[in-house]
Amino acid sequence: MKHTIPDESTYRQPPSEIYDLIMAKPVPMASVDDCGEWMLLLERDTFPTVAELAEPELRIAGIRINPNNFAQSRMITLAGMRLKDLNTLKEFEIKGLPENMRATNIQWNPSQNRIGFVNLKTDRADLYSIDIASHTATKINKIPLSIVLGGAYCWVDDTRLIYKAIIPDAVLQGMPLAPKGPVIQESLGIKTAARTYQDLIKSVYDEALFEHYTKSQLILHDDTRELKIGVPSIYRHFSVSPDKQFLLLQTIDKPFSYTVPVNGFPHTVTVTDLEGNVINTIAVNPSSEGVPIGFDDAPDFPRGFAWRNDEPATVTYIKALDGGHGKSESEWRDALVAFRIDLSGKDAPEDVLFKTKMRFQGVIWGDSTTAVFYEESYATRKFQMNHYNPATGMTACVFSRSSDDAYSDIGNPLTQKNEFGRQTLIIINGKELIMSAGGASDAGDMPLIQAFDITNGETRVLWRCEAPYYEYLVKMTDPQSLTFITARESQKEITNYFVHTTVKDEPVIQALTTFTSPYSLLEGVSRQKITYKRDDGINLSGDLYLPTGYNPERDGTLPVLIWAYPIEYKSAADASQVRGSRNTFTRPYYGSPVLWVTQGYAVLDQAEMPVVGENGNEPNDNFIPQLYLNAHAAIQKLAAMGVGDSTRVAVGGHSYGAFMCVNLLAHTNLFKAGIARSGAYNRTLTPFGFQGEERTYWEAPDVYNNMSPFSHADKIKAPLLLIHGDSDNNSGTFPLQSERLFSAIKGLGGTVRYVSLPFESHGYSAKENILHMLWETDQWLEKYVKNSPKEKI
């Protein structure tokens, strides 16, 4: 039975400074057309209420469904839109937008003269089209949309759209008062290991619910009419061929699985014409039950179906060449297979385009002689970029690095639309790709644009962000003249958009927006990226925030809040790299520890917590000792700077960060208190792997037990605040994890408080819940950290 505190069962609010920061209206987001002529400004929705979260919700097949409007529940939506002419910088209101708009799924049409979006109402979902010339929005559909499985619609061309509609006459029988019999599952000696999932199908009635709310009718809207395409099915995915003649469809088949979510259900892949007539059946794939679950494993059936962007109607898919077992001996892991589609219905011969030594990770098509594809191994952390010549079939490695090595990352190739309106590589001088890179370095992230020569691997910088700004590419509008749009911010300036051009060989920069910060309460807060070493020599870093007007010589040391999230590495050198930028603007959000800088704390956010495994060892083999090294180094750094009181330090984190937090309390005496949100604390409840751990419980029982703070609950002496959404949907972080840990610490005489937030998932949404969570955190820190005795625990 849960332990409750009746006299504290009403919602509370945090201090006014925290309340005002959380409730401040954020600046708009922006979407820019390909030519850089129009910007769509998007206003984010406010926090929903607990009453809204309490509306009907079905939790089936790994998804959460709003049965009233055939959409996923808890969708992030937009509350407002307006257009901005980037030539004149004039803004326009959009006529015809729905009242109380909750918009999602923004898509520009190929010519960029219309913008589509889906609007959610309480009882239906509708598709709208914005005509940019008239600044007017028009509702497209008559039959409500079905968007439970996502992928609600797509543009065929500038005027035609295809979308999924509900089946109006579909009838759902009520849930029987008593079942016809028990639910039975069986395994006949075949390995069918699966990760730990939530919200799975559990009964025959769940199956009926899933089918009712996911089955839909494809509709082609030709600017005047709604035309049915084929017959109703459960459409997992659909896409239009580059030549606009065919549809690539993935439809879900029965039997539905009780052990994996919807993306693992049996499915059929077909190509049809735009009337729904089947041209080719490409694959009939089974359930993913029994598919190997290692990070380098893959299904032993065709996967990753897509249209080839540089040809009219060619389907590609990935075929495992090693049976899907990433640790098996095999010269080749994957092949990319292609075949052309035509209206004759004849199966074209399959063509193996190329093979990969590691798992295939994607391809970007270019022209007749140039494409690039990627492959990667999680076990070795090797990441490789290859050049593929479609004309000759030649492949060659052009770049490789450790996937953990951010410093050597050359970035991602930029693309532009080809004659089919599909994104393909920008190629200049016949051999150079234009790359957008994060620019990670010892100085922090300094994004850049550079040319990459695929014949020799040489790079040349075309543009680079410069301090004191953090500035990154948003849209390349003209690669030939190097005209592009960026988003720029600094510690003192919130994000605004700029266009970069060249006039008479001189760079010219023009501001496109002039947003101002809504967070005046953070003006004067000191922020710096600090670096320090842990005892084994690995370099660490974190973002340190100090209160406005704070002077260490005058005010002395401050109570400290450290917030972190562990990450696994296979190299000490990679773990030592500086991550993030020292020049970004501080945006407080509901989960941010930075809020407590307004309450007189020194806050170390994003404190590096690397867990390194070298020389054949797995990172988790020494998880606990490395957590100690990381935390101890951070505390000693703040003490050496004269800003942090090493005897008054709290640690906190969310999800895997919460797991880290409780382990630090169980195995060290470094902290006065801990705040753990939505974590998992007993790894035996996730026995087939978790986070970066591939070994099962039966392969490494000592690792699972030693890493489980539940197993060491008797050692947790520092006060622990546990917070969890009672409807957590994340893999492995069941609310039971917090409930059982609370009971263990309580039974062992420890100091612990468990706050269960009604109707919340892994991330929190409702205004009342968020404000109360912040109040709980503030009270905990005030009582057990700021005002605690200064002697060590």
Q: What residues have CB less than 8 Å from 772, skipping those under 6 apart? A: 11, 12, 13, 755, 757
239-268 pLDDT per residue, tens? 999 999 999 999 999 999 999 999 999 999
**Residue 516 confidence (pLDDT) above 70:** yes
Q: Could you give the CA distance from residue 278 to residue 274 in angstroms, rounded to a whole number? A: 10
First to last CA, the chain: 31
- Strand locations in 481-618 (E): 483-490, 496-503, 506-511, 526-533, 539-546, 558-564, 567-569, 602-607, 610-612
Q: Is 659 helix (H, G, I), strand (E, B) or coil?
A: helix
Reference 366, options 317, 306, 434; nearest CA is 434
The tokens for 75 are: 């969708």
What pLDDT score was predicted for residue 20? 96
**Residue 1 confidence (pLDDT) above 50:** no
476-510 pLDDT per residue, tens? 999 999 999 999 999 999 999 999 998 878 889 99
Contact 601, 544 (CB under 8 A): no
Active-site residue flag, 728: yes
**Residue 349 confidence (pLDDT) above 80:** no
761-771 pLDDT per residue, tens? 999 999 999 99
- Please, which contacts does 70-76 make with residues 24 or more away whose CB atoms are closer than 8 Å? 70/124, 70/125, 70/144, 70/145, 70/146, 70/147, 70/148, 70/166, 70/213, 71/120, 71/125, 71/145, 71/147, 71/148, 72/147, 72/148, 72/150, 74/761, 74/765, 75/102, 75/104, 75/120, 76/45, 76/104
Average pLDDT over residues 216-235: 95
Cα-based distances in Å from 58 to 52, 69, 627? 14, 12, 39
The tokens for 787 are: 């005002």
Cα-based distances in Å from 631 to 390, 533, 574, 714? 51, 11, 19, 21
Contact 741, 713 (CB under 8 A): yes
Report how many helices (DSSP H) and strands (DSSP E) the chain contains, helices first: 10, 47
Q: Could you give the CA distance from residue 664 to residue 652 in angstroms, rounded to a whole number? A: 10
What pLDDT score was predicted for residue 790? 62
Q: Could you give the CA distance from residue 778 to residue 780 in angstroms, rounded to a whole number? A: 5
Q: What is the mean pLDDT of the chain?
A: 94
Other CB atoms within 10 A of residue 490 CB? 16
Q: Is 22 helix (H, G, I), strand (E, B) or coil?
A: helix
Average pLDDT over residues 107-136: 97
What pLDDT score was predicted for residue 791? 58
Query: Catalytic pick from 655, 678, 738, 765?
Result: 655
DSSP 7: G
For the residues of 736-760, what is the DSSP string, one character each? HHHHHHHHHHHHTT--EEEEEETT-
Burial environment of residue 440 by CB neighbours within 10 A (0 to 12, 13 to 18, 19 or more): buried
Express as a percent the part of the chain with pLDDT over 90. 89
**Residue 462 confidence (pLDDT) above 90:** yes
Q: Could you give the CA distance from residue 484 to residue 501 in angstroms, rounded to a whole number? A: 7
Express as a percent the part of the chain with pLDDT over 70. 97
**Residue 793 confidence (pLDDT) above 60:** no
Other CB atoms within 10 A of residue 546 CB? 23
What pLDDT score was predicted for residue 5? 53
For the residues of 617-643, what is the DSSP string, one character each? --GGGGHHHHHHHHHHHHHHHHHHTT-
Average pLDDT over residues 745-753: 97
**Residue 75 confidence (pLDDT) above 60:** yes
Which helix (H) or strand (E) segment holds residue 573: the answer is helix 572-575
Reference 540, options 580, 577, 581; nearest CA is 577
**Residue 271 confidence (pLDDT) above 80:** yes
User: Which residues on adjacent β-strands are paired with residue 130?
Assistant: 115, 137
What pLDDT score was predicted for residue 597? 98
pLDDT-derived band at 3 (thresholds 50, 70, 90) equals very low
The tokens for 351 are: 């063509």
Average pLDDT over residues 673-693: 95
Contact 570, 381 (CB under 8 A): yes
Question: Is the pTM above the cut of 0.75?
Answer: yes
What pLDDT score was predicted for residue 347? 61
Q: Please provide residue 709's backbone torsions phi and psi, each rounded to the nearest 5 degrees.
A: -65, -25
Active-site residue flag, 762: yes
**Residue 127 confidence (pLDDT) above 80:** yes
The tokens for 171 are: 């009838």
Q: Is 605 helix (H, G, I), strand (E, B) or coil?
A: strand
What pLDDT score was predicted for residue 788? 83
- Please, which contacts does 277-283 make with residues 24 or more away whose CB atoms are closer than 8 Å? 277/230, 279/246, 279/341, 279/342, 279/343, 279/345, 280/341, 280/345, 280/347, 282/315, 282/317, 283/317
Lowest mean pLDDT among 171-185, 401-415, 615-629: 171-185
Other CB atoms within 10 A of residue 91 CB? 12
Q: Could you give the CA distance from residue 534 to residue 655 in angstroms, rounded to a whole number? A: 24
pLDDT-derived band at 186 (thresholds 50, 70, 90) equals confident
Average pLDDT over residues 85-92: 97
Average pLDDT over residues 360-368: 97
- Greater confidence (793 vs 450) lies with 450
Query: Catalytic pick from 135, 325, 632, 762?
Result: 762
Q: Which amino acid is at 80?
A: G
Q: Please provide residue 713's backbone torsions phi and psi, each rounded to the nearest 5 degrees.
A: -60, -25
Query: Catalytic pick from 206, 296, 728, 778?
Result: 728
**Residue 342 confidence (pLDDT) above 90:** no
Q: Could you give the CA distance from residue 36 to residue 483 in angstroms, rounded to a whole number? A: 9
287-319 pLDDT per residue, tens? 999 899 899 999 999 999 999 999 999 999 999
